[in-house]
Amino acid sequence: MIPSAELVDLSRLQFAITALYHFLFVPLTLGLSFLLVIMESVYVMTGKEVYRDMTRFWGKLFGINFALGVTTGLTMEFQFGTNWAYYSHYVGDIFGVPLAIEGLMAFFLESTFVGLFFFGWNKLSKVQHLLVTFLVALGSNLSALWILIANGWMQNPVGAEFNYHTMRMEMTSITDLLFNPVAQVKFVHTVSAGYVTASMFVLGISAYYLLIGRDKAFAMRSIAVAAGFGLASALSVIVLGDASGYTVGEVQRVKLAAIEAEWHTEKAPAAITAFGFPNEATQRTDYAIRIPYLLGLIATRSVDEQITGIAELREGNEAKIRNGMIAYSALEKLRAGDASDETKMLFEKYKANLGYGLLLKKYTPDVADATEEQIRMASRDTIPGIAPMFWTFRIMVAISLVILFIISASFYYVAKRSIAEKKWLLKLALYSIPLPWIACEMGWIVAEYGRQPWTISGILPTRLSTSNLDPSSVYFSLAGFVGFYTLLLVAELYLMFKYARLGPQSLHTGQYGSA
Amino acid sequence: MLFDYETLKLIWWLFVGVLLAGFAITDGFDLGVGALLPFLGKNDEERRVIINSVGATWEGNQVWFVTAGGAIFAAWPIVYATAFSGFYIALMLTLFALFFRPVGFDYRSKVADPRWRSVWDWGLFAGGFVPALIFGVAFGNLLQGVPFSFDNDLRVTYSGSFWQLLNPFGLLAGTVSLAMLLMHGSIYLQIRTEGVIAARARFVTRVTGAVFILAFVLAGVWIMKGIAGYRIVAMLPADVASTPLDKVVEKAAGAWMDNYSGHHWLWLAPLLAIVGALLAIVASGAKKTVAAFISSSVMIAGVIFTAGIAMFPFIMPSSTDPGSSLTIWDAVSSHKTLQIMFWVVVIFLPVVLAYTSWVYRVLRGKITVESIRANEHNVY
């Protein structure tokens, strides 16, 4: 028996909410930790106290954010087991590995040294303390690496195959898992986005001090560090955006087509749709503004490689569903005790498409005898909603361009030593602080909503992945998460605003004024 | 490969035991300290002393919990799936309680309002008390077997409810773990504090130590006399890939004593639990705080292995469909994954232990009301 639609929707909603919440805190941790390393390095090299104070003040804000990152991260570690039990059984042999390594290699490092970062100032030499700060940054960024290796495998499941004895996916190659191209690109893209987020955070709050004419030297130096680090990161996030990750892996290609509302395959190199209104009913994009060649160039890095359109992808998936039906019926025979070579060979031949056969479970328990209509419905399911993909992606890109402008302009005026007079830029920077968060959340939606209808692309449909729970249990936990997280977020924002407004005087060194 | 599949399956039982013991010993005292906070700290400054005795290091300790979860996911995926979805409500309550800790520690003293601080103090209490109790309740239910079964696709259905977990033996096991962690926390407080707080903690050690020994012995007698264990009647060879459905299991009175009667040296585990507790009480009375801490750590490891050995090779027996029970032979990952994860643990765990002890060494020393006053804006 497969889980009810209500249960699956609730479980997805809970996962999305808790993951999006967690991802409010992660990018800042990733980036701010490295900004702290830079500030403290300058302190160690020059001995100028303002850099130590910068490290301590921004470190305070780092701590306020870090606390909620840890809180919401705890949920993520256990939610696969609580709500996605069948998924955990089906792919734990592979997926559990990076999660466990993350704990042992990265999260331990980050969490053990974060306490020393706050409480070790008077107990360590300057260089030792810098090393501690560096280890916190290294730990949090390694965390991101392992999590994205796990996530990259969900998008492009390499190095694994189905074992019919144990009824699950098992690892065939750890190196394939580690060097999954999708994971590599995702890692660079995600940590760069975190660096940009932190740069905008420091830039925006420092701009506030300049606007109210307080702690000018402190703010100017903070802006200089943030603008430099931010510019490098913003270029990296855009140039190394994960466009190139969308040409490997079947489902990644579906995502690309959805993002671009590429209804049909066109002659290479494909044009990019800068703007328009995707229309699912007519399968075309109304009022489209198209820039020739650009998409082909960005996505394939070539002029002659085609980008497959939605209609053609769906047709291809229909063929895979038919193969999946053969695999499924062979699997049923194997499970029933048929050990003939013929059945085994049949299964081996088609098992790569077993997951596509499982898509039919939503419509019939009898996968091997699905009707034409059911096959058509299942193949339609293989394409996520075009409009949400199209829009979330464009919001993300538009925001990145605004951010790139703010950071470049700041960098330019810092270099010209006139940033303090550019009130318009300071105001823009201040009010743009939320932008990177919006972009990060949009990016998450593109990557994870775009993976639907799969939890593991091409392998395990979302519909089959959940635990067998009573929906009332999930309502209970969902209410708990929303309630707790909202209260904690209010407390976090309250403290963040309080300390950002106080500024470096909150260090009580006696050197920083209140106005 | 270095080890055959069967050996690795055994090693991984040991590893999970070590990780759970690591969690209970390190984060265990943080949980105990949290649960004692509102009672041992009578005013704001005393409470800050208590909070700061663990404030700088609790975060690293909590990773034992996360890592144990991750390691179970990687090595025993179907256990991770079955236990966490089966104990759903209990696990959610634990999670919600744990939420109070990161924010409680970091946010509490950043605002001076006594109401704000009081809310977080009680939050830290819940963050210590609830998990310390529920972990024991969960173990108590594992020992009795829990109601779940697999269908042919290995999809698990758990048919019990949260309230059924709170049965008499489950609550007794909860008392064991709560008393054990309160005791351990109170001993750690004696190392890190002095004066009235240390004196109050010493009193708690005596009381919780006595409760622990009583409850632990009672639970042991109950297992011997009143709880049916489980026994594998037939299974595939231990060195081949198998699923929980590939074996026959019977429920039998006294089966949990099989390992102890077959290998008498295994009685060392329960013995260490009791002797550790006694030594901890004595050492705490003599103000040998470090010796007391080592003793209570031995006690904790003894308790975890006592339960583990009784159930071995079972991890999670099923009361409704014994054949679905999860054991170390058939609830494990593939040979390859166990092998990879073996190296990960062997390489990284010593590294973690090394830098953790360095951090503790740097941060050693008593936390006092004076040290809090001197650093008012920089400590928790």
From residue A100, alpha-carbon distances to A18, B81, B345 in Å are 20, 15, 9
Among A93, A465, A485, the residue to mutate for chain B (most B Cβ within 10 A): A93
| Chain B contact present for A165, CB below 8 A | yes
| Chain B contact present for A67, CB below 8 A | yes
| Chain A contact present for B18, CB below 8 A | no
The token pair that represents B126 in the structure block: 């819940």
Which position has the higher pLDDT, A473 or B377? A473
Q: What is the pLDDT of residues B299-316, one digit of tens each?
A: 999 999 999 999 999 999
Partner-chain residue, chosen from B56, B85, B111, that has the shortest CB–CB distance to A81? B85
Q: What mean pLDDT is predicted for residues B74-86?
A: 97
- Residue B378: exposure state from Cβ atoms within 10 A (0-12, 13-18, ≥19): middle
pLDDT at B7 over 60: yes
CA B53 – CA B197 distance, rounded (Å):
11
Distance from the Cα of A117 to chain B's closest Cα (Å) equals 9
Residue A217 confidence (pLDDT): 92
Q: How many residues does chain B have?
A: 380
CA A213 – CA A219 distance, rounded (Å):
10
CA A261 – CA A283 distance, rounded (Å):
9
Residues of chain B with Cβ-Cβ distance to A332 below 8 Å are none
User: Which of helix, strand or coil describes residue A72?
Assistant: helix
Whether residue A82 and residue B63 make contact (CB cut-off 8 A), yes or no, is no
Residues of chain B with Cβ-Cβ distance to A147 below 8 Å are none
Residues of chain A with Cβ-Cβ distance to B348 below 8 Å are 101, 104-105, 108
Distance from the Cα of A288 to chain B's closest Cα (Å) equals 46
What residue in A sits closest to B155 (Cα-Cα)? A86
Terminal Cα-to-Cα distance of chain A (whole angstroms): 67
Among A25, A71, A507, the residue to mutate for chain B (most B Cβ within 10 A): A71
What residue in A sits closest to B67 (Cα-Cα)? A103
Residues of chain A with pLDDT under 70: 241-248, 514-515
CA B31 – CA B208 distance, rounded (Å):
14
Whether residue A96 and residue B154 make contact (CB cut-off 8 A), yes or no, is no
Helix ranges (H only) for A106-158 are 108-119, 126-155
Whether residue B69 and residue A101 make contact (CB cut-off 8 A), yes or no, is no
CA B348 – CA B342 distance, rounded (Å):
10
- DSSP notation for B244-292: GGGSEEEEEETGGGHHHHH-GGGGHHHHHHHHHHHHHHHHHHTT-HHHH
Residue A248 confidence (pLDDT): 66
| Chain A contact present for B60, CB below 8 A | yes
Size of interface A-B (CB pairs under 8 A): 248
Give Cβ neighbours of residue B139 (< 8 Å, ≥ 6 apart): B173, B177, B307
pLDDT at B76 over 70: yes
Residue A244 confidence (pLDDT): 55
| Chain B contact present for A397, CB below 8 A | no
B154: left (phi over 0), alpha (psi -120 to 50) or beta: left
Whether residue A71 and residue B73 make contact (CB cut-off 8 A), yes or no, is no
Q: Could you report the predicted ipTM of this complex, rounded to two decimals?
A: 0.95
The token pair that represents B216 in the structure block: 């632990």
Distance from the Cα of B282 to chain A's closest Cα (Å) equals 32
Helix ranges (H only) for A156-180 are 174-178
Which position has the higher pLDDT, A294 or B338? B338
pLDDT at B1 over 70: no
Residue A242 confidence (pLDDT): 57
Residues of chain A with Cβ-Cβ distance to B149 below 8 Å are none
| Chain A contact present for B339, CB below 8 A | no
Residue A274 confidence (pLDDT): 80
